[in-house]
Amino acid sequence: MSWGTELWDQFDSLDKHTQWGIDFLERYAKFVKERIEIEQNYAKQLRNLVKKYCPKRSSKDEEPRFTSCIAFFNILNELNDYAGQREVVAEEMAHRVYGELMRYAHDLKTERKMHLQEGRKAQQYLDMCWKQMDNSKKKFERECREAEKAQQSYERLDNDTNATKADVEKQLQEMDERRTIKLSECYRGFADSERKVIPIISKCLEGMILAAKSVDERRDSQMVVDSFKSGFEPPGDFPFEDYSQHIYRTVSDGTISASKQESGKVDAKTTVGKAKGKLWLFGKKPKGPALEDFSHLPPEQRRKKLQQRIDELNRELQKESDQKEALNKMKDVYEKNPQMGDPGSLQPKLAETMNNIDRLRMEIHKNEAWLSEVEGKTGGRGDRRHSSDINHLVTQGRESPEGSYTDDANQEVRGPPQQHGHHNEFDDEFEDDDPLPAIGHCKAIYPFDGHNEGTLAMKEGEVLYIIEEDKGDGWTRARRQNGEEGYVPTSYIDVTLEKNSKGS
């Protein structure tokens, strides 16, 4: 089978067929180019998606701790790797398929153009021969010999031109067959470029599955408990006393007993109603400024904060101690070798370092005192407060200067308690003005400004009388010698109680 013999008269058809083959090759190259753009856009969108949902870690406190968060971040990492593999597919297609197709199409166009030019020259030469044959025929009658020579010449030229055109068509056949082979190779490369990355993509997907399986809901729940545990004991049963059996209707509504009974009845309901919506444990937390000793926090959280601060202060103290040691060594070197420096120039830095060390030690001592107070109160706080306040749950609440209020004896308050007990109009008229007797004395370890209502300001080293012990809320009621009374923080004073003391 040869195009030169079987298609010797279909030169125009072969011209159109070879042009169609090159157009088809360029169309497939365009398809590969669009597939590459799709892969690149897909990879870019995947990376933007990963970047969008990756956390911006501005500090170590925001690092993920929950296994669900860690699994999600692992999935994002695997998805980022998956996007990289899609980019590898696009690069492989661009290098092996698209680039090769474009180069090969250019070569085919050049070769086809050369072959067509040779074919057109042969066709022109054949046309010229046909014209010579016509002229020879016209001269046949006149010059037979010349006609015979012309016929011989025609036959020779016809055979030669046919041979030349057959060679051209054979070359066109070889070119088209090479084009078909190249397309077959590109088909295989198109599939191989993606088949190579399938194992890596499978590993990425397996990593996503492993990350999903690593989610531990119980561990996350335990981390929530450890993060937000307050240390408070759950509230006990709310005591209830039936007052209806003590209420009797009287004929006269103007008697003192009826007024006192009616007033007590209304105040009890009002007190319970107010307390019902102000429970700290199950309601909203009282708002207030953050205190230096973290006394506004629940015991467990306060203990964690104090321990964290002590660790930070110890690290700073170690740095200052190391710096002091280095300065002393440098000072010894300067004293032994004066040409290296002046020892007196290091004295201000040494003094500053010593002041920092003393300050840090005082801070550590103060925070350790608060920590020991918290650890000492955690175990017995509920028992102390329950024994003193259990009989006043219904008719008496406790209120702090910041406005925190609770009717549960086991709840922590943020400020000193106020003496707002339940009383009626007759209690105001017959109130006893005698001061409470002193049960001991105390000495202020730290100064206290006492800005809040109901507190008592004191200076460091000042001696005060104790008229009411700490009920477990961190406040002690004290009195100055001039008779001024108020609450002071128990952790700020050194208390000395007097046994069997009836007065100051």
Strand partners, 116: none
pLDDT of residue 163 exceeding 80, the answer is no
Average pLDDT of the chain to the nearest whole number: 75
| Contact (CB, 8 A) for 235 and 382 | no
pLDDT at residue 387 is higher than 50: no
CB of 385 closer than 8 Å to CB of 474: no
pLDDT for the residue numbered 130: 84
3-class DSSP assignment, residue 462: coil
The better pLDDT of the pair 33, 234 is held by 33
Q: Give the alpha-carbon dihedral of 241, 246, 250, 256, to 10 degrees.
A: -80
CATH 3.30.2270.10, applies to 440-497: no
Buried b (16+ CB within 10 A) or exposed e, 430-456: eeeeeeeebbbbbebbbebebebebbb
Inter-residue contact 61 to 112 (CB < 8 Å): no
Residue 108 class from Cβ within 10 Å (0-12 exposed, 13-18 middle, 19+ buried)?
A: buried
Under a CB-based contact definition with an 8 Å cutoff, are residues 464 and 458 in contact?
yes
Give the mean pLDDT of 133-147. 74
Residues paired with residue 443 on neighbouring β-strands, in sequence order: 463, 494
pLDDT category, 275, cuts 50, 70, 90? very low
How many C-beta atoms lie closer than 10 Å to residue 399's C-beta?
A: 19
* Residue 147 pLDDT exceeds 70: no
Under the banding of pLDDT at 50, 70 and 90, the label for residue 449 is: confident
Residue pair 401/453 in contact (Cβ under 8 Å)? The answer is yes
Q: What is the DSSP letter of 427?
A: H
pLDDT at 409: 36
Question: What's the CATH number for 9-56+65-155?
Answer: 1.20.1270.60
Mean pLDDT of the 87-98 span:
91
**Two tokens, residue 437:** 């007797």
Report pLDDT for 434. 62
What is the average pLDDT across 58-64?
55
47-60 pLDDT per residue, tens: 999 999 987 765 55
Mean pLDDT for 386-408 is 37
Residues 6+ apart with CB under 8 A from 456: 448, 450, 464, 478, 480, 484, 485, 486, 487, 488
Give the pLDDT confidence score for residue 315 in this predicted structure. 93
| Residue 314 pLDDT > 70 | yes
Give me the percent of the chain exceeding a pLDDT of 70: 70
Looking at residue 106, its pLDDT comes to 92
pLDDT tens string 217-274: 888 888 888 877 766 667 666 565 555 554 444 444 444 444 434 444 434 333 333 3
Phi, psi of 55 (to 5 degrees): -75, 150
Same CATH fold, 440-497 and 9-56+65-155?
no
Q: In the chain, pLDDT over 90 holds for what percent of residues?
A: 27
Please state, as a whole number, how many other Cβ atoms lie within 10 Å of the Cβ of residue 117: 11
Tens-digit pLDDT profile for residues 413-444: 344 554 444 444 434 444 445 678 888 999 99
State yes or no: pLDDT of 210 exceeds 70: yes
445 has pLDDT over 70: yes
pLDDT value at residue 133? 81
Nearest alpha-carbon partner for 69 in 219, 191, 187, 182: 219
Of 319-328, 359-368, 380-389, the least confident: 380-389
What are the contacts of 369-377 at 24+ separation with CB within 8 A?
A: 369/491, 370/293, 370/294, 370/306, 370/491, 371/303, 371/306, 371/307, 371/310, 373/490, 373/491, 374/299, 374/302, 374/303, 374/306, 375/303, 377/299, 377/472, 377/474
Position 8 scores a pLDDT of 74
pTM of this prediction? 0.40
What is the mean predicted confidence (pLDDT) over 447-455?
84
Domain assignments of the chain as residue spans, ordered by start? 9-56+65-155, 166-213, 315-375, 440-497
Cα of first residue to Cα of last residue in the chain, in angstroms, is: 132
Give yes or no for residue 487 having a pLDDT over 60. Answer: yes
Tokens 């306060």, located at residue: 302
Return the pLDDT at 290: 62
The answer, yes or no, to whether residue 313 has pLDDT greater than 70, is yes
Collapsing DSSP to helix, strand or coil, 48 comes out as helix
Q: How is 251-284 classified by DSSP, letter by letter?
A: S-SSSHHHHHHHHHHHHHHHHHHHHHT--TTTSP
More confident residue, 73 or 382: 73
Instruction: Please give the structure tokens belonging to residue 319.
Output: 């740095």
- In the predicted structure, residue 463 carries a pLDDT above the cut 70: yes
pLDDT at res. 50:
92
pLDDT at 504 over 80: no
Q: Which residue has the higher pLDDT, 30 or 501?
A: 30
Q: Which residue has the higher pLDDT, 291 or 16?
A: 16
pLDDT of residue 169: 79
Q: What is the mean pLDDT of residues 323-329?
A: 90
At 353 the pLDDT is: 92
